[in-house]
Amino acid sequence: MSELLLHPAWPLLIAAVLVRVLPRRPGQAVMLAAPVLALAGVLSLTDGTLVTAPLMTFELELLRVDRLSTAFGVVFAIAALLASIYGLATQHAGERGAALAYAGAAMGVIYAGDLLTLFLFWELKAVASSFVILSRRTQRSNRSGLRYLFFHIAGGKLLLGGLIVQYQSTGSLTFEAFDAGVAGWLVLAAFALSAGVPPLHAWLKDAYPTASVAGTVFLSAFTTKAAVYALIRGFPGAQVLIYLGVIMATYGVLYAILENDIRRLLSYHIISQVGFMVTAVGIGTETALNGATAHAFAHILYKGLLLMGMGAVLYATGRSRASDLGGILNRMKPVAVLYMIGAVSISSVPLFSGFVSKELIPSAAGAEDLAWLVIALKVVSVGTFLSTGLKLPYATFIGSRGLGPETEDGTDRVVVTPVPVSMYVAMGGAAALNIAIGLYPRLLYDLMPTEITRAPYALGPVVEKLQILVMTVLGFWLLFSLLGSKAKLNLDLDWVYRRLPVLLTARGDQRALARADAPASTSSRAVASTRDGSRAVLARVFEPAEDGPPDVVATWALGGVLLATAALLLIVSLL
């Protein structure tokens, strides 16, 4: 039982309480110390450690350590530390507490050896992450935070249902690979919702961009990656995940190419990149599962860096639409440079983390003779570089239609607020890790569940990747007029759950007006009062913000053109 004291979740959960009651300076110190202690706990635990505890007739496995949990534990602790540093100057005590509880719950998930312990930490993670969103305290974040909570509580109930069925059918709660059956499908649905598999994805791009700049960095690290961990543990080799993953990867990158909001664009890329991981879990070989784990590890680092960069832009300018930005490169050069390290990492540029992690997945697909899958994943990679490495940085830092450096009379159009030093420290740390992994792949490979013998810098893969990247730059130049940021928002499935309840309540109001002149009994008045209260709750949660529903963009036409262009560039590069 002494190993239980080293559980990496404890420092984070205890610190979540302390930062709420301590003054600001001591609270900041605790915020930074907790992830460091969690990392120390991860590194001190040895493979094979198992701590159990009785609960009524159940035997709970509170702490199960193996190479898979250790890999996720290391990167979760690093992510919590970097995000904590990033938010030092901006987060209030309530948000710090929610963020640390969220990170601690995610740690609990990856070390849970049984389904009941998993469920308890899963629900804590859902509630704590909802409070991270709500901590921004705006009308938009309040509503999106509640919608997020509803989605994830529903996912938790699917997990609970699967847990109950599994126990009734097998008599065991051990968290291991599921067999085909009702329990497996219920648990798979719960994990798929948390991973953001379409059509269960809309909560992500609805909620993440509404959190604070530091809150979004926390959110990008834990929810979807804990779901990837759970899929690796529970559903390796489930072929349905190959197709779901490809849908995720393609769907996310197409919407990212069309998106104007800088943080919503990066949220779509979370969906797309998690699609790579889900696909790898579906392949199920050792190489593929290593690829899913390695890609999750690297993705946390470079996606956090990308969101830190765009968060710094939002902090400095107060603007989140790419069409409202541009011309600020000279005033935010360090941010632009650090952002580009994340952009080339996510784009799998050689010598950066994405190349040594993400490329394991197409390699695993090729080893299983899944040529169509290799092509699909490489086409998606074209779209990734196109949007995060070219379109977004150009529109944000260079484009001339947004902020601009100055007006005709020589004065600044918008004051660019200085970025806090703590933000630069966090971005610098994430950038250094992405470069270190790219230059020394063994830093990452030695943490993987099984041994990796692949040499990432063989001549063939490097030349192929450089060809694809060069052709993508050429495609961006040729299609520049089509790819420029447009001052519109895209409709996605979240529009349905934003607007449908409002439409239903509006119809109910019309019926109520029609009955207004009719005499009402006591019972009918009670029913009407209940109905009115329900409509008020729905309106508070689901009504759009003051700027109204988004405009419609011609997504199919433009998306088809861009996908066909990406495929053509890939074919040319391979030939």
Per residue in 261-297, pLDDT (tens digit) is 899 999 999 999 999 999 999 999 999 999 999 999 9
pLDDT at 507 (0 to 100): 58
The CA distance from 190 to 151, in Å, is 10
CB atoms within 10 A of CB 465: 20
Whether 566 and 379 have beta carbons less than 8 Å apart is answered as yes
pLDDT band with cut points at 50, 70 and 90 for residue 548: very low
Using alpha carbons, select from 100, 111, 118 the residue that is nearest to residue 37.
100
pLDDT band with cut points at 50, 70 and 90 for residue 528: low
Place of tokens 């029609």: 514
List Cβ neighbours of 335 (8 Å cut-off, separation of 6 or more).
309, 312, 313, 316, 419, 427
541 pLDDT more than 60: no
Quick one: 71 and 133 in the same domain? yes
pLDDT band with cut points at 50, 70 and 90 for residue 190: very high
Quick one: 247 and 370 in the same domain? yes
The CA distance from 430 to 348, in Å, is 16
Of the listed ranges 451-455, 485-489, 504-508, 539-543, the one predicted with least confidence: 539-543
Among residues 214, 235, 256, which one ends one of the domains? 235
Q: What is the pLDDT of residues 428-444, one digit of tens each?
A: 999 999 999 999 999 99
Quick one: 212 and 275 in the same domain? no
Instruction: Report the DSSP beta bridge partners of residue 55.
Output: 58
221 pLDDT more than 50: yes
Q: Which domain holds residue 53?
A: 1-235
pLDDT at 259 (0 to 100): 87
Sign of the alpha-carbon torsion through 531, 149, 244, 265: positive
Within-domain flag for 137: yes
Quick one: 133 and 277 in the same domain? no
Whether 216 and 307 have beta carbons less than 8 Å apart is answered as yes
Whether 329 and 397 have beta carbons less than 8 Å apart is answered as yes
Within-domain flag for 353: yes
Quick one: 4 and 33 in the same domain? yes
Within-domain flag for 501: no
Q: What is the mean pLDDT of residues 235-264?
A: 92
Q: Which residues of 292-317 are buried (b: 16+ CB within 10 A; e: fewer)?
A: bbbbbbbbbbbbbbbbbbbbbbbbbb
Q: What pTM, to 2 d.p., does this model score?
A: 0.86
Cα dihedral 385, 389, 395, 397 in deg (nearest 10): 180
Within-domain flag for 421: yes
**Percent of residues in the chain assigned helix, strand, coil, to nearest 5:** 75, 5, 25
Phi, psi of 456 (to 5 degrees): -65, -25
Of the listed ranges 52-61, 213-222, 320-329, 545-554, the one predicted with least confidence: 545-554
Within-domain flag for 545: no
Count the domains in the chain: 2
Quick one: 473 and 341 in the same domain? yes
Q: What is the mean pLDDT of residues 537-560?
A: 45
Task: Bin 11: left if φ > 0, else alpha if -120 < ψ < 50, else beta.
Answer: alpha
Mean pLDDT, all residues of the chain: 85
Quick one: 348 and 454 in the same domain? yes
Of the listed ranges 230-244, 374-388, 506-520, the one predicted with least confidence: 506-520
Quick one: 441 and 315 in the same domain? yes
pLDDT at 13 (0 to 100): 96
Within-domain flag for 345: yes
DSSP string, 145-175: HHHHHHHHHHHHHHHHHHHHHHHHHHS--B-
Quick one: 67 and 5 in the same domain? yes
Among residues 235, 257, 274, which one ends one of the domains? 235
The CA distance from 527 to 518, in Å, is 15
DSSP string, 87-138: TTTT--HHHHHHHHHHHHHHHHHHT--BHHHHHHHHHHHHHHHHHHHHTT-S
**Residue type at 318?**
G
Within-domain flag for 541: no
Among residues 235, 252, 273, which one ends one of the domains? 235
The CA distance from 307 to 270, in Å, is 11
Q: What is the mean pLDDT of residues 396-402?
A: 75
- More confident call, 130 vs 552: 130
Of the listed ranges 69-83, 127-141, 502-516, the one predicted with least confidence: 502-516
Query: What is residue 59's three-state secondary structure?
Result: strand
DSSP string, 521-553: -HHHHHHHHHHHHHHHHHHHHHS--TT-SPPP-
The CA distance from 360 to 369, in Å, is 14
Quick one: 221 and 231 in the same domain? yes
Q: What is the mean pLDDT of residues 18-32?
A: 94
- More confident call, 530 vs 37: 37
User: Could you tell me what percent of the chain has a pLDDT over 70?
Assistant: 81
Quick one: 258 and 325 in the same domain? yes
pLDDT at 201 (0 to 100): 87
pLDDT at 553 (0 to 100): 37
Quick one: 194 and 283 in the same domain? no
568 pLDDT more than 60: no
pLDDT at 533 (0 to 100): 53
Cα dihedral 79, 80, 86, 87 in deg (nearest 10): 150
Query: What is residue 52's three-state secondary structure?
Result: strand
Within-domain flag for 223: yes
Q: What is the mean pLDDT of residues 547-557?
A: 40
